[in-house]
Amino acid sequence: MARIAVGGIQHETNVFAPYKAGYEVFARRDEWPPMSRGIQMLDEVDGVNLPVAGAIERLKALGHEIVPLLWCSATPSAHVSEEAFERILAMMLETLRDSAPIDGVLLDLHGAMVCAHVADGDGELLRRVREVVGETTPVVASLDLHANISDQMVAEASLLEAYRTYPHIDMAETGARAADHLDLLLKKGLARFPVITTRRTDFLIPPVWGCTLVDPAKSIYQLLHKSIDGEVVGISLACGFPLSDVHEAGPAIVVYGFDEKSVNVAADNLLAELESRENEFSGRLYNAEEAVTEAIRLSTTANGPVILADSQDNPGGGGPGDTTEILRALVSHGAKNAVVGVISDPQAALVAHTAETGAKINISLGGKSGYPGSLPFVAEFTILGVSSGRFRATGPMLAGAEIDLGPTALLEVGGVRVVVGSKPVQTMDQSMFSHLDIDPSRQKIIALKSSVHFRNDLQEVSAAVLPVVSPGPVIVDLSTVPFQEPRLKKLTAKR
CB of 170 to Zn ion, least distance (A): 11
Closest to Zn ion by CB, 205 or 448? 205
164 contacts Zn ion (rule: CB under 5 A): no
Closest to Zn ion by CB, 274 or 352? 274
Phi, psi of 340 (to 5 degrees): -120, 140
- Which position's Cβ is nearest Zn ion? 146
What secondary structure letter does DSSP report for 397?
T
Instruction: Measure the CA–CA gap between 409 and 360, rounded to whole angstroms.
Output: 13
Closest to Zn ion by CB, 157 or 162? 162
Closest to Zn ion by CB, 304 or 321? 321
Q: What order do you get walking across the sheet with 252-257 strand by strand?
A: 195-200, 252-257, 232-238
Residue of 45, 42, 32, 44 lying closest to 4 (CA atoms):
42
For 37-64, give the DSSP string.
EHHHHHHHHTTSSSHHHHHHHHHHHTTP
**How many residues in total does the chain contain?**
495
CB of 298 to Zn ion, least distance (A): 29
CB of 172 to Zn ion, least distance (A): 15
Contacts of Zn ion in 126-155 (CB under 5 A): 144, 146
Closest to Zn ion by CB, 144 or 245? 144
CB of 47 to Zn ion, least distance (A): 21
Closest to Zn ion by CB, 144 or 180? 144
- Backbone angle region of 147, left / alpha / beta, with phi > 0 → left and psi within -120 to 50 → alpha: beta
CB of 144 to Zn ion, least distance (A): 4
Residues 116/82, Cβ–Cβ less than 8 Å: yes
CB of 74 to Zn ion, least distance (A): 14
What secondary structure letter does DSSP report for 181?
H
CB of 432 to Zn ion, least distance (A): 18
- Applying CB under 5 A, what is the total number of residues that bind Zn ion? 2
Closest to Zn ion by CB, 76 or 257? 76
What secondary structure letter does DSSP report for 115?
B
C-beta neighbour count of 398 within 10 angstroms: 25
Residues 6+ apart with CB under 8 A from 412: 381, 382, 384, 418
CB of 112 to Zn ion, least distance (A): 8
Closest to Zn ion by CB, 145 or 339? 145
Phi, psi of 470 (to 5 degrees): -130, 165
Can you say whether the dihedral through the CA atoms of 333, 363, 445, 397 is positive or negative? positive
What secondary structure letter does DSSP report for 67?
E
Q: Which residues bind Zn ion (CB under 5 A)?
A: 144, 146
